[in-house]
Amino acid sequence: MDRLLGRLQHYDWGSHTALAALRGLEPTGRPEAELWYGAHPSLPATVDRGAGPEPLDAVVSADPSSELGPAAGLRDGALPYLVKFLASDAPLSIQAHPDRATAEAGFAAENDADVPLDSPKRTFRDARAKPELVVAVTPFRALCGFRPVDEAIGVAAALGLPDDLMAPLRERGPVAWPDVVARVLAGDPDGAVDALVERCNGKVAGKWTTTADLLFELSVRFPGDAALALVPLLAEHRLEPGEALFLGPGVLHAYLSGVAVEVMAASDNVLRGGLTGKHVDVDRLVGIIDPEVPATVVQRPARGVHRYDTPAEEFSVWRLEGAGVDVDDRSGPDIVVCIDGLASLSSIGASAGARLEVPPGGAAWIPYADGAYRLDVEGLAYRVTVGGPGA
């Protein structure tokens, strides 16, 4: 088992203080949006086994059978999942993630078109799907999935969205959501977004006041953005610490504020529709929206040891609060991240003797070859491993 050193992403929506406070460090003075613990080649974490820090992707590729075990077959010898701390002081884009077939086709097409991997115009950074689980560390706000049709039509009428935008939904029901999104993001030649923002500036009373306030708040940061008209059509979730949302492919969402642990398939594929200065790809985004996906359900953890519902084959996530477990039925490598207190790991069985303590904001890498281990948590930690019924 190894101490895993994460890598920061300094996106402009990130908090200047939250991740530093979690880790007990001084802030860098820059926005610290994400802390990556994984082996994605664009920003791999590092381990030190005596020869200095080594990127985790290089460690894994040097001996995938020892590092990954049976999980080596999931992603052609690469670690199938990625763990992040996310800390947002400002909203992220309205976006969705592709399924595997879309990612493979899009990645190949951009390669054939000689679009560099680091180009800001690139949509597909790899050929992988990106299901994800977001677990709140602090109170966390997110827009995720569409409202029920009747509710969406009601809020649209209350806020004065143009009738023609909502016509497909009234006529065909939820299967029309991609058409509605396409109409909204096609542009705003008639000034409908400006009129919507003006109406949301203190002129909406009753049950939709909070939605109107959110839309107006976002309009200050993204003036004139056509995607503002999607905001009232998406379901708003306010997660308490430990609560989680699972997002499969094609689910439109935007994270608004707070600190969370994100666990996802090891992909960096994001298809954006607006509320961002980054590359947007409206046609591809509309093409992957799944109008039949069930409403996103907030998962609430049990105290002690709790496994979240994560149907993805790439990962599963366990929450440990003031609890200890013997981890002896492993099917791949583990990453343990500590949120509060201390997570103590010790090898058991044939490899007994190795020990590692993980402080808040830190992480441990437990290769498959290390075998069984004991995990004791004084406080709160998360264990991430590959998916499957016995994970």
Q: Does 10 lie in the same domain as 116?
A: yes
Cα–Cα distance between 249 and 285 in angstroms, integer?
11
Domain count, the chain: 3
In a domain, 211, yes or no: yes
Same domain? 118 vs 245: yes
CA distance 5 to 364: 8
In a domain, 310, yes or no: yes
Q: Does 65 lie in the same domain as 203?
A: no
Assess if residue 65 is contained within a domain. yes
> What string of DSSP letters covers 11-56?
-TTBBSSHHHHHHT----SS-B-EEEES--TTS--EEESSSSEEEH
pLDDT at residue 390 in the model: 46
Percentage of residues in the chain having pLDDT higher than 70: 98
272 is catalytic: yes
CATH number at residue 369: 2.60.120.10
Burial pattern 46-66, b for ≥16 Cβ within 10 A else e, equals: bbeeeeeebbbbebbbeebee
Instruction: Please check whether residues 281 and 336 belong to one and the same domain.
Output: no
- Please report where in the chains the tokens 């003006």 appear, as a residue: 198
Report how far residue 116's alpha carbon sits from residue 103's, in angstroms, rounded to the nearest whole number.
16
Do 370 and 252 lie in one domain? The reply is: no
- pLDDT, tens digit, for every residue of 110-151? 999 999 998 999 999 999 999 999 999 999 999 999 999 999
Q: Are residues 350 and 257 in the same domain?
A: no
Indicate the residue among 232, 262, 278 that finishes a domain.
232
Q: Are strands 81-88 and 34-37 parallel, antiparallel or unpaired?
A: antiparallel
Got the DSSP string for 190-259? T-HHHHHHHHHTT---GGGHHHHHHHHHHHHHSTT-GGGGGGGGEEEEEEPTT-EEEE-TT--EEEEEEE
Q: Please check whether residues 61 and 179 belong to one and the same domain.
A: no
Q: Domain range holding 322? A: 305-385
Residue where a domain terminates, one of 232, 253, 277: 232
Question: Would 300 be classed as within a structural domain?
Answer: no
- Residue 104 and residue 164 in one domain: no
Q: How far is the CA of 33 from the CAs of 16, 136, 245, in angstroms? A: 8, 15, 19
pLDDT tens per residue, range 33-87: 999 999 999 899 999 998 899 999 999 999 999 999 999 888 888 999 999 999 9
243/120 same-domain check: yes
Contacts of 118 (CB under 8 A, 6+ apart): none
Least confident piece of the model among 72-76, 206-210, 257-261? 72-76
Tell me: do 254 and 320 sit in the same domain.
Answer: no
**Quick one: 212 and 250 in the same domain?**
no
For residue 12, being part of any structural domain is answered with yes
Note whether residue 296 is domain-resident: no
Q: Which of 7, 147, 272, 330 is catalytic?
A: 272
